[in-house]
Amino acid sequence: MLSEFDREVAQARTDQERDASLKAATQALREIGTLECIDCGATIPPARRRVYPSARRCLECQTAAEREAYLR
């Protein structure tokens, strides 16, 4: 029979493992990219996602973001 302490330790470990899994899944989704542009909400064309799977912006918004970063 498990003591109360053992149950609390087991629950804490379960919580840590769940949190780590959620963090890993979230990171994987970020690396995969998105279907919609994070700036304008337009659908990112399948051709762009094939060439650049982690794309988070449509080509127009990515161009604007790079131009703005370059001009700083």
pLDDT digits (tens, 9 = 90+) for 1-14: 779 988 888 898 99
Surface-to-core class of residue 34, CB atoms within 10 Å of its CB (0-12 exposed, 13-18 middle, 19+ buried):
middle
Position 21 scores a pLDDT of 87
Q: What is the pTM of this model?
A: 0.55
Determine the Cα–Cα distance for residues 52 and 63; give it in Å rounded to an integer: 14
Give me the residues paired with residue 43 across strands. 36
2 residue type, one letter: L
Quick: pLDDT tens for 18-64: 988 888 877 776 667 788 999 999 999 999 988 888 899 999 999 99
Output the pLDDT for position 1. Answer: 76
CA angle 64, 41, 67 (to 5 degrees): 5
The residue with greater pLDDT, 30 or 72, is 72
Q: What is d(CA 67, CA 17) in angstroms, rounded to the nearest whole number? A: 41
